[in-house]
């Protein structure tokens, strides 16, 4: 049986097609049903997913995606995929279950996603049994790319960031204050735009101001999210996502401040998902 596995965030999606001939891996833009209609999703599938498959048609598709917790969002994604692969068996789950399966297989533990957005939960080895609502990038998503990006933007515009760093920011992005405000409050895919400034933090992470800015974003995450799992304080902290991965040293230090031991911190759960679905 051939299978297609997708791990999709808001910014990017990783795919693996597995058949008797081996594996094909590729990456596309992310598909979040809160920002896509079923029709737009189908068009994106045809444009970005069909070509790498080179005519192959999977028997089963396992899609793990940001924004896929609610049933109506799952149905939107299912409809979009079914329009392209009419005969495939399709299973839609949210990205948190994908992270948990990829990190922990069938072992119980704490799982978080720190990418463009944030998610978190306690996995009992089969399903997610406890969550603290991320509330999205406007109200929450603490510790995510959007959370760090917002801190970078605010520090620049309020001139809290050291002058030399501010000059580097403006030289890098060629944006004026009014441009940033306009794009934040009136642009498209605002979450991706804001999260994009996390790269600036990564490029200058050796600067004490930037390191502290990132650490404070993670402390906010621990205070508002991780601390709600006090009954599991002896558990390890397991995380997927580029933000957690690239800032893993700072994240591990902050996690330790809150009494939880760092466990697996990886960029993508895909290797684990391949193992989970090919046992």
Q: What is the pLDDT of residue 232?
A: 66
Domain ranges, ordered by start, for the chain: 3-99+271-277, 106-138+216-267, 148-215
Contact 241, 114 (CB under 8 A): yes
> What b/e string do you get for 60-77 counting C-beta neighbours within 10 Å, with b at 16 or more?
bbbbbbbbbbeeebbebb
Helical packing angle, 95-104 and 270-277, nearest 10°: 80
CATH hierarchy code of domain 148-215: 1.10.720.160
In whole angstroms, give the CA distance from residue 23 to residue 47: 20
Domains 3-99+271-277 and 106-138+216-267 share a fold: yes
DSSP string, 9-54: -SSEEEEEEEETTEEEEEEEE---TTT--HHHHHHHHHHHTHHHHT
131: closest CA among 149, 143, 113, 145? 113
pLDDT tens for the 279 residues of the chain, in order:
899 999 987 778 999 999 988 899 999 988 888 777 778 878 888 888 888 888 889 999 999 998 888 899 999 899 889 888 889 999 999 999 999 999 999 999 999 999 988 999 999 999 999 999 999 899 999 999 999 999 999 999 999 999 999 999 999 999 999 999 999 998 888 988 999 999 999 999 999 999 999 999 999 999 999 999 877 667 889 999 999 999 999 999 999 998 888 899 999 999 999 999 998
What is the DSSP-derived secondary structure letter of residue 175? -
List the structure tokens of 5: 């596995």
What is the number of other CB atoms lying within 10 angstroms of the CB of residue 161? Answer: 24
Q: What is the pLDDT of residue 67?
A: 84
Classified by CATH at the fold level, domain 3-99+271-277 comes out as Nucleotidyltransferase; domain 5 (3.30.420)
CATH architecture of 106-138+216-267: 2-Layer Sandwich (3.30)
Q: What is the pLDDT of residue 244?
A: 96
């Amino acid at each position: 049986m051939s299978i297609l596995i997708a791990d999709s965030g808001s910014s990017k999606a990783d795919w693996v097609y597995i058949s008797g001939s081996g594996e094909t891996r590729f990456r596309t833009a992310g598909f979040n049903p809160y920002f896509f209609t079923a029709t737009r999703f189908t068009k994106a599938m045809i444009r970005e997913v069909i070509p790498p498959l080179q005519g192959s048609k999977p028997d089963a598709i396992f899609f793990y995606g940001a924004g896929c917790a609610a049933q109506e969002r799952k149905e939107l994604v299912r409809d979009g995929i079914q329009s392209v692969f009419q005969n495939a068996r399709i299973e839609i789950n949210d990205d948190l279950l994908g992270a948990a399966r990829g990190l922990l297989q069938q072992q119980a533990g704490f799982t978080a996603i720190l990418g463009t957005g944030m998610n978190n939960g306690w996995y009992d080895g089969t399903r997610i049994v406890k969550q603290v609502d991320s509330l999205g990038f406007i109200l929450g998503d603490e510790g995510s790319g959007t959370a760090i990006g917002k801190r970078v933007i605010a520090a620049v515009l309020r001139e809290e960031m050291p002058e030399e760093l501010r000059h580097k920011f403006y030289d890098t992005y060629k944006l004026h204050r009014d441009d940033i405000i306009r794009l934040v409050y009136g642009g498209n895919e605002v979450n991706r735009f804001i999260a994009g400034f996390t790269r600036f933090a990564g490029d200058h992470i050796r600067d004490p101001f930037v390191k502290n800015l990132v650490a404070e974003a993670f402390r906010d995450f621990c205070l508002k999210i991780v601390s709600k799992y006090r009954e599991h304080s002896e558990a390890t902290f397991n995380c997927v996502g580029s933000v957690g991965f690239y800032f893993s040293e700072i994240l591990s230090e902050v996690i330790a401040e809150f009494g939880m031991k760092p466990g697996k911190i990886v960029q993508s759960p895909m290797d684990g998902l391949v193992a989970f679905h090919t046992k």
